[in-house]
Amino acid sequence: PPHAGSTFYNFKGQHSIVLLAVVSASYKFLMVDIGAQGRHNDGRIFKESNMGQRFHNKQMDLPPPCPLSNFRNIPIPYMLVGDAAFQLTEYMLRPYPVNQLNRSRRIFNYRLSRARRISENAFSFLVNIWRIYRKPINASLKTTESIIKATVCLHNFLLSTRQYRDMADDTCRNVIQENTAIRNVSNIGSNTHSQLAASIRNEFCEYFVQEGSVPWQEMYI
């Protein structure tokens, strides 16, 4: 916006707003928050957003907790997958810190990174299909937000077509094959968390090295 100064500056020194989204396993944007200042990290934006507040206050209409397959028969809540910019909570998984890793935690971090590729690929696919994102958008804040809303809605609509969906699947496979390492982030969120949040993450960690293991995960830790 005019006279905004450094309010919307991101870490690259560019004016920007943030599209923060919850993405499904099929690349669909389920919830979006548009327009936050680019200078803030994703964790802070999510925490202060309407959808973040609804998760925090347990106001989301989520399925009830259920066991991870037949593993231990302990009910586990449905979780969001985040990176190190987010805080570990009872509804958000984040990687283990690099200074606290052992074999099972490295596997967990790899599996979390692999799952997170889905949301990263959804954003990449949005940029690749809608050319307006390939260069800075020369428009007012209100118009820019409308452009983002429109492309997100069109993206979700086109996912119902097989051609668009297959293109998204191909993008996902290519990215996972080329790079499965955890990507560095410019902003690190709080590492404080509750005992319950830690125990939920530990359950996933144990599941990924036992019943939920996959043959190739040892290659990437």
Per-residue confidence in pLDDT tens, the chain, 221 aa:
555 555 565 555 666 788 899 999 999 999 999 977 766 677 888 998 999 999 999 999 999 999 998 878 899 999 999 999 899 999 999 999 999 999 999 999 999 999 999 999 898 888 888 888 888 888 888 999 999 999 999 999 998 888 877 776 665 555 434 432 223 334 555 566 789 999 999 999 999 999 999 999 999 88
173-200 CB burial, b ≥16 within 10 A, e <16: eebeeeeeebeeeeeebeeebeeebeeb
Alpha helices in 25-79 (DSSP H): 42-48, 50-56
The answer to whether 94 and 84 have CB atoms below 8 angstroms apart is: yes
- Specify the DSSP class assigned to residue 69: T
Specify the length of the chain in residues. 221
- Report d(CA 34, CA 116) in Å as an integer: 20
- Report d(CA 161, CA 177) in Å as an integer: 25
Torsion sign across C-alpha atoms 110, 111, 116, 120: positive
